Amino acid sequence: MRVWYFSEMAYHPAWEEGLKRGSLRVVLPNANYDPKVGHGLLNRYLDEFALCDEVGLDIMVNEHHSTSTCLTISVPMALAIIARETKRSRLLSLGTPIANRPDPVRVAEEMAWLDVLSGGRLEMGLVKGAPYEIAPANSNPANLMRRYWEAHDLILKAMSTTNGPFNWEGEFFHYRNVNIWPRPYQQPTPPVWMTGLSVETGRMAAEHGHVVGTLLSLSAAGPMFEAYRKRAQELGWTAGPDRFAYAAVVGVGATREEGLRRANLAADYVRTSPIVAEPFTNPPGYNSLAANIAMLKAGGKRGGFVRDRHGNPVEQTTASIEQLIESGTCFAGTPDDVYDQIKALSDSVGGFGHLLMFGQGGFLDHKDTVANITLFAKEVLPRLRELNAEPQKAAGAAAD
Amino acid sequence: MTKTMSIAGTTLELVERGNGRPLLFLHAGEGLGPERPWLELLSQKYRVIAPWHPGYGNSPLIDGSGSVDDLAYLYLDLAADLTLENAVLVGACFGGWVAAEMMVRSTAGFSHLVLVDPLGIKVSGREKRDIADMHAVPRAEYLTLAWADPARGDIDFTRLSENDLAGIVRGREAFALYGWKPYMHNPRLRRWLHRIDRPTLLLWGAEDRIVTPAYGEGWRQAIPGARLEIIPQAGHFPHWERPEAFVERLSVFVDNSG
C-alpha cells in the first residue's frame, strides 16, 4: 500500500462564524478571512507537505473554492511549489474539477508542466467535483458528466499526442490547433485517477483502467470497488488493489488517547465539510434521478454518505470519534490500532492499494501535525507497504 | 388527452384539449400540470395544445441535450405540422422566453402573443439581476418570491407517485440545462424583439418577485405596441394562482385586438 498525506489547508479561524451562519462555503463573506493569518497558515501547511518527503510519504493535494474549509484553490499552483521542495514523494493531484474548468487544454498544459518539473512524479486526478463547487464555478450541473467526459478525452488526447496540432470540435470545447508544450515526462500520460461514491463511477473508471478513489465511508467503498473489479473482469483483465484508493482521517499517537485526540481534532474536517447553505448542496442534475426521488420522498432530507457497519447513516456534523472509527471515516489510536483498523477495512472491501491520509484538519496544530506525520511514517507506513503490495498486472495496457 | 408526436426527429408529449381557435401553451419552468385549472378553463374557449418541454414529463431531451434555440425551432415545426393558423401563442415564465424566441424567428401561423411573467431578456446592468436566483434560495424562500400566497404553491412531494416525482426531477434538470448560464435569459434576445409583428399582451402578477412588473415594463418597451396588464393578488404564476382572471384577460385581449 502507498500512503498519500494530504491537508485541505483549512482556514479554521472562520469556522465559528461559518457555523453561526449555517454555511462554511459559497455564501460566507471573505471578510471573515484575515490574509495575514492566512499567510502564516499557507506557509505552515506547505512545510507540512514538505516534511512528508523526508519521512517517505507520498503527497496528495485537492482543491475547493469559495470556502473556509479549504484554501487550496489551484492544485497545480500548490503542487508546483511542493514539487520543488520534494525529491522522492509522488505527487497526486486529486484533482482538477475538469467539468468546472472552461479550458481543458490549459489543464493538460499545467499537468504536463508539473510532470516535467517533478521528473515524472505526477499522478493526475480528473474529478467531477463536489456539488457546492457548481456555484463558485457557475458551471451547468445538468450536463456536468457529458462535459466531464469530453474534457477527460480531450485532456488525455492533448497529453498523449506527439504529432499535433490536432482539431477538436466537440459539444462543449472547440480548438483548431491543440499541440501542448511541454508534453508530459511520463508517456503517454501520468497515471489517471477518478473519484466518486457510486457504483457507476466504479464501473466507468474500470472501463478506462484508471485508479478510483472514494472517501470516508466503508459502505460506499465496498460496492464501488466491487463494481470496478466486475467490469474489469468483463473486459478481460483483473483489477488489483493498486486500482483502489480510500481516504480517511488518520490520528496516531504514542498512546491510544493521544492518537484519538489528534484524530478527533483533524476530524473537524468531516464535521464541518457538509455545512453549506442548502440550495448549493444538490444542484439539478448533479445527483441521480433515483437519489433525487428518494430525497423528495423523504421530505427534502438529504441522506449523508457516511454510514456505519450496519448501513445506518452517521450524522457527520456531530459524530464522535468513536462513531467515525466505526464508519471507517477515521483511523485512530496507537500505531498498532491504526494499522489494524486500516487492514480490517481494506480486507472488508477486497483490498485497496492507496490510503489517502487526512493527516491534518482544522485545529490540529503544527506540532501535533508534525508528530502525527512522523510517527505514522515511522511505525505504520513500513507495515502498510507490505500490505496489498503484490505486483499488479498493468491495467493501462488492457484498457487502452 | 395526452398524446405523443414525432417532431423533427424527437418525441414530444403534449396535451390537446377543447375546440375553437388553436392556442399553443408553453409551460413554466416548474413544468406542466394538466390537472391544474388553467388548461381546462382555456379549453372551454380554445383548442389548447400544451407540450411538455423536452426533458419534462415523458418528453425526452433533444439528442440528450438541447437549448432554448432548439425549443423555438421545435415548436415552430410543431405549429407547421399541425398547420396552425391564426393561433394564439401563450408562454408562461420559461415558456414565455421560448415563445419570444419563436416569434423573433417567425410569426407565421400565429395571430397573437401572450407572455405571462416571462423570463428571457436582460434589462438592467451587469451587476443587477433582473431574474431572482431561484437556485440559490431554499424552497420556502422561493415560494415567497414566486407566489402572492406561498401556501398555494407548496407541494407535498411525499404524497406524489414515483412517476410524478421522476417527472419533477427531470424537469428541474431540464430547466437548469436550458437556463443556467446566462441565467434564464438570452443576452441578444431583447435586440430582436422588434421583429414581433403580432398584437402582444404581457400579463404580470403584481406580486411577482422572481421577475417584477418593472421588468415587464422592459419587455413592453421592446415589443412594438405591446400592452402590459397587471393581475393583482398573483405572483410569478398568475395562470396558476388566479386562473379565472388569467383566462378572462387573455380572451378579452384576443377578442378585441388584431
pLDDT digit string (tens) for B204-221?
A: 999 999 999 999 999 999
Give pLDDT, residue A301: 66
Closest CA to A10 of A361, A255, A399, A244: A361
CB contact under 8 Å between A300 and B139, yes or no, is yes
**Cell 417532431 belongs to which residue?**
B7
Give the mean model confidence (pLDDT) for residues A255-281: 95
User: For A33-57, what is the mean pLDDT?
Assistant: 98
Q: Would you state the pLDDT for residue A303? A: 62
Residue percentage of chain B with pLDDT more than 90: 95
Rounded average pLDDT over B10-37: 94
Question: What pLDDT, on a 0 to 100 scale, did the predictor assign at position A298?
Answer: 87
CB contact under 8 Å between A284 and B173, yes or no, is yes
Comparing A173-182, A314-323, A371-380, which segment has the lowest mean pLDDT? A314-323
DSSP state string for A190-232: --EEEE-SSHHHHHHHHHHT-EEEEES-HHHHHHHHHHHHHHH
So what's the pLDDT on residue A398? 39
Locus of grid cell 499517537: A253
Lookup: cell for B26: 408553453
What is the rounded average pLDDT of the residues A51-68?
98
Tell me whether residues A299 and B174 touch, CB distance under 8 A.
Answer: no
According to CATH, the superfamily of the domain at A2-399 is Luciferase-like domain (3.20.20.30)
**Which is nearest to B57 in space by CA: B7, B6, B118, B12?**
B12
How many angstroms away from the CA of B97 is the closest CA of chain A?
A: 19
Q: How many angstroms separate the Cα of B247 from the Cα of each of A88, A189, B51, B73?
A: 74, 63, 19, 27
Q: Is it the case that residue B146 has pLDDT exceeding 50?
A: yes
Q: Mean pLDDT check: name the lowest of A126-130, A264-268, A309-313, A366-370.
A: A309-313
- pLDDT tier at A400 (50, 70, 90 boundaries)? very low
β-strands A122-127, A244-252 pairing: unpaired
Average pLDDT over residues A253-281: 95
Mean pLDDT of B4-17: 96
- Interface of chain A against chain B, CB under 8 Å? 135, 138-143, 146, 171, 278-280, 283-285, 289, 292-293, 296-300
Distances (CA, A) of A299 to A32, A313, B169: 33, 17, 14
Q: What CATH number should be reported for the domain holding residue B224?
A: 3.40.50.1820
Predicted pLDDT of residue A396: 43
* Candidates A292, A295, A302, partner chain B, best to mutate (most B CBs within 10 A): A292
Is pLDDT larger for residue A266 or for residue A273? A266
Count of structural domains, chain B: 1
Amino acid, res. B63: D
* Percentage of chain B lying above the pLDDT 70 cut: 100
Angle, CA A361 vertex, CA A356 and CA A362 arms, to 5°: 165
A370 — pLDDT class (breaks 50, 70, 90): very high
pLDDT of residue A388: 84
The minimum CA-CA distance between B146 and chain A, rounded to whole Å, is 16
Residue of B nearest to A296 (CA): B157
- The average confidence (pLDDT) of chain B is 96
Interface residue of A25, A139, A143, A171 to substitute, partner B, most B CBs within 10 Å: A143
Q: What is the mean pLDDT of residues A374-382?
A: 98
This prediction's pTM: 0.95
B237 close to B28: Cβ distance less than 8 angstroms: yes
Whether the ipTM is more than 0.85: the answer is yes
What's the average model confidence in pLDDT over A164-168?
97
Rounded Cα distance between A382 and A380, Å, is 6
Residue A356: strand, helix, or coil: strand
pLDDT at A302: 64
pLDDT at A309 over 90: no
The predicted structure's pLDDT at residue A394: 44
Residue pLDDT, tens place only, B218-250: 999 999 999 999 999 999 999 999 999 999 999
* pLDDT band of B258, cuts 50, 70, 90: confident
Residue B17 lies in domain: 2-256
Mean pLDDT of B23-41: 93
Cell representation of residue A308: 456505519
User: B206 CB contacts (<8 Å, ≥6 apart)?
Assistant: B148, B213, B230, B231, B232, B233, B234
Examine the pLDDT at A46 and tell me if it is beyond 80.
Answer: yes
> Among A180-184, A234-238, B154-158, B209-213, which is the least confidently predicted range?
B154-158
- pLDDT, tens digit (0-9, with 9 covering 90-100), for B42-58: 999 999 999 999 999 98
Nearest CB neighbour to B169, from listed A135, A141, A289: A289
> Within chain A, where are the H helices?
15-21, 35-55, 75-85, 104-117, 134-137, 144-160, 199-208, 218-234, 256-266, 268-272, 289-297, 321-326, 335-348, 366-375, 381-386, 395-399
For residue B36, what is the DSSP state?
S
Question: Which residues of chain A are within 8 Å of residue B180 when distances are taken between CB atoms?
Answer: 138, 140-142
pLDDT at A307 over 90: no
What pLDDT, on a 0 to 100 scale, did the predictor assign at position B150? 96
Q: Is B158 in Cβ contact with A171 (below 8 Å)?
A: no
Mean pLDDT of chain A: 94
pLDDT at A389: 79
Q: Which residues contact A240 (CB under 8 A, 6 or more apart)?
A: A351, A353, A388, A390, A392, A393
Asked whether B95 and B71 are in contact (CB, 8 A), the reply is: no
Range A327-348 average pLDDT? 97
The mean per-residue pLDDT over the stretch A134-157 comes to 97
Query: What pLDDT does residue A397 have?
Result: 39
Question: Do A86 and A50 touch, CB atoms closer than 8 A?
Answer: yes
pLDDT at A352 over 80: yes
If you count residue pairs, one on A and one on B, with CB atoms under 8 Å apart, how many are there? 61
DSSP string, A116-173: HHTTS-EEEEEE---GGGHHHHT--GGGHHHHHHHHHHHHHHHHH-SS--EEEE-SS-
pLDDT in tens, B90-140: 999 999 999 999 999 999 999 999 999 999 999 999 999 999 999 999 999
Q: What is the pLDDT of residue B193?
A: 98
The minimum CA-CA distance between B133 and chain A, rounded to whole Å, is 10
Closest partner CB to B65 (pick from A143, A278, A292): A143
What average pLDDT score do residues A91-110 get?
97
Q: Mind telling me how many Å the CA of A151 is from chain B's nearest CA?
A: 17
